[in-house]
Structure 1
Amino acid sequence: MTIAKRGFSAFAALATGLCLAATMAQAEQIEIHNTMSAGGSEEAAITRFTEILEERAPGRFDIAPYLGGQLGDETDILELLNLGQTQMALTGGLFMGQYAAEYDAVSVPFVFPNWDSVEHYVMETDSGLAMQAQSRERGNLVYLGPQMRAFRHMTSNREIHTPEDLHGLPMRLPQVPVWVDVWSELGVQPIVIPAPDIYFAMRTGQVEAHENSLASPYTRQMWEVQDYIITTAHLSFPWHWVASARWWDSLTEDDQSLIREAVAEARAHGFTVEQERDDYYRAQLIENGMSFIDVDQAPFRAAAAPAVQRALADMAEGVTQDIQAAIDATAN
């Protein structure tokens, strides 16, 4: 009797082990890439995505986050996604410039007045859907949705209240032609400087202003070299959840639906965390001596309009109408 029980127990243990091994073998590997370091809303969203999949399909997915550009910059990761050599990314807008530049209105400053209009344009309009289709056709990307990054403002060593106050202001800008053109239209003197050199350029007087989300003056301790933050809210340059089409098409419809649901909830969580951090940065910048000037944004948008129209004129037919439709649909 004892021998029989031992034999049964051994068999049961073996069967359990085989089942566990089979479950582990079936786990779907998902690498998720992002270029930002840990601690931001990007990591928070990816963590929530992981939690949701584990809650709703325990053991079905094996998620491996790669933060801080561990396996390369955005260009490198887009290539890996194209080839099907990795699975997912929370990436910037570079892919639009590569695969669907004629629909990339979200990269033009002073176009969208709030996050809801950005999201509506990308997800709901014909232009946004065409961007998604071209990204798949040209880059093997499946588009899963945008994630909010806080709106960008400008910092300055002079008080700015109207567009006229910008004339002749030496302002650091990244090497993005449409951004340089728009700010030139506003009267600044654009100076292209790499991001790591911003603080030094301000300390030495090479530039007197720059633009970015509030994370930039906070992490760079710009209260040591800048006095004012002007809330132009000229651009929200979102992250985008994308997947490799080669990998995506290998999934079952149930897995695809589950991943889409998890991404949607992760995006919402990232939105909340980003807003919380933006409020925190504002409070800390004030505490450290910087003054906020909350300007009327309408005159700045009007002054930038000629350059904005030049940028939009190069885009596909219907983009301008879809932008306005998105703004109208999300107006308060």
Structure 2
Amino acid sequence: MLHTLKKTIPAATVAGLFALGALGVSDAQAQQIEIHNTMSAGGSEEAALQRFQEIIAERSDGRLGVDIYLGGQLGNETDVLQLLSLGQTQMALTGGAFMGEYAADYDAVSVPFVFPSWDAVEHYIMETESGEALQAAALERGNLVYLGPQMRAFRHMTSAKPINSPDDLDGLTMRLPQIPVWVDVWEELGVQAVVIPAPDIYLAMRTGQVEAHENSLASPYTRQMWEVQDYIITTAHLSFPWHWVASASWWDGLSEDDRAMVLEAVEEARQHGIAVEMERDEYYREALIERGMEFIDVDQGPFREKAAPAVERALADKADSVMGDIDAAIAATQ
């Protein structure tokens, strides 16, 4: 093809066309913003990303576009963090892995029974010295620009038997993910923790391997857990948020106006995602009740008190500012 083209068009013109073609490809790539999330379609995550996509297209007059990658299409959270660090992709709505990787000293958000409300979580990340330090560490160690948190609904217990107080947890076999601090906290409460992969939760309950598990209400709903569990205990022990992050390599190449536009789009998109998450959490509650599950709305105070020694162990090696900032975030949002 190149040989034929050179016969009919002067070499200088051919070189110019190829240069323009290369420039066009580069420009097209530069105008697209890839954004990643590990969840499948249909959740509040996708709703937020689609809103972000719409806002960017509208306010840039089509000059910028957003490509959404769901379901871990380019890898798990760790894989995408690596791509962001290397500047090989632009953005992600990621989970908490980056905090453990880059900012463990300030990560109080991943410890159960610390924050009693979403507002307190958000305040800690966005308004405290520890939150600022967390963001700075993510930039320094991971080449990540932090843009804001997005709520995931609080996690509760499901159980095959009624739980009304921490005393009812003694000896209860409970499925937990392989997160050491979570296992330690729940074992402090008296459960017998069993680490089981998420796809095996339903079978483990059906066969009696475990009597309980913890997660947001999406888990018992999507797993049809009413077939193997009778009770949901509203421990509200953790809201494990999503986080909007960008590759600093890409961010630094944006104009000041484009950075402002992206920040505004993220803020509106994450608030939309939070609203959708709250709506769906309420829907799941009503749907689970309709399917026969009984909600036990416990007094969360005794659970937090009994878990306190493990929580204190988890926070003992954090930065000096963390404990005071936790208290400040809770006080500011009560």
TM exceeds 0.5? yes
Shift of 1:189: 0.4
Cα separation, 1, equivalents of 2:101 and 2:28: 36
2:313 equivalent in structure 1:
310
CA distance in 1, matches of 2:318, 2:234: 28
1:75-131, CA deviations, whole angstroms, 9 ceiling, x for partnerless residues? 100000000000000000000000000111000000000000000000010000000
* Cα distance in 2, alignment partners of residues 308 and 92 from structure 1: 21
Q: Quick one: which of 111, 114, 120 aligns to 2:114? A: 111
Which runs of structure 1 show a deviation greater than 2 angstroms over 4 or more consecutive aligned residues? 24-27
What corresponds to 2:144 in structure 1?
A: 141
Q: 2:231 aligns with which of 220, 228, 232?
A: 228
| Gap runs ≥5 in structure 1 | 1-20
Q: Report the number of matched residues.
A: 310
Q: Taking structure 2 as the reference length, what is the TM-score of the superposition? A: 0.91
Q: Is the CA contact (8 Å cut-off) linking 1:27 and 1:59 kept in structure 2?
A: no
Q: Match of 2:109, SS?
A: helix
Q: Choose which of 90, 97, 107 in structure 1 pairs with 2:100.
A: 97
Report 1:192-271 matches (<5 A): 192-271=195-274
1:298 to 284, 296, 301: 301
Match of 1:13 in 2: none
Q: What residue identity is the alignment partner of 1:55? A: E
Q: What per-residue deviation string (whole Å, max 9, x for no partner) do you get for residues 23-53 of structure 1? A: x759621000000000000000000011111
State the distance in 1 between where 2:94 and 2:28 align: 29
CA distance in 2, matches of 1:51, 1:209: 41
Q: Is the 8 A contact 1:121 1:326 kept in 2?
A: yes
8 Å contact from structure 2 (residues 56, 65) kept in 1: no
Cα 1:26/1:289, change in 2 over 3 Å: closer
Give, in whole Å, the separation in 1 of the partners of 2:224 and 2:76: 25
Contact 2:115 2:238 in 1 (8 A): yes
Distance in structure 1 (CA, Å) of the matches to 2:65 and 2:57: 9
Distance 1:212 1:327 in 2: 23
Aligned CA RMSD, in angstroms, stands at 1.2
The whole-number CA distance in structure 1 between the counterparts of 2:220 and 2:114 is 23
Gaps of 5+ in 2: 1-23
Residue 58 of structure 1, CA deviation: 1.3
Q: Is residue 60 of structure 2 the alignment partner of residue 57 of structure 1?
A: yes
SS in 2 for 1:35: coil
Q: TM-score, normalised by structure 1?
A: 0.92
Per the alignment, residue 8 of structure 1 pairs with none
State the shift of 1:132 in Å. Answer: 0.3
Q: Distance in 1 between matches of 2:258 and 2:196?
A: 44
- Asked if the contact 1:82–1:244 (Cα under 8 Å) also holds between the matched residues in 2, the reply is yes
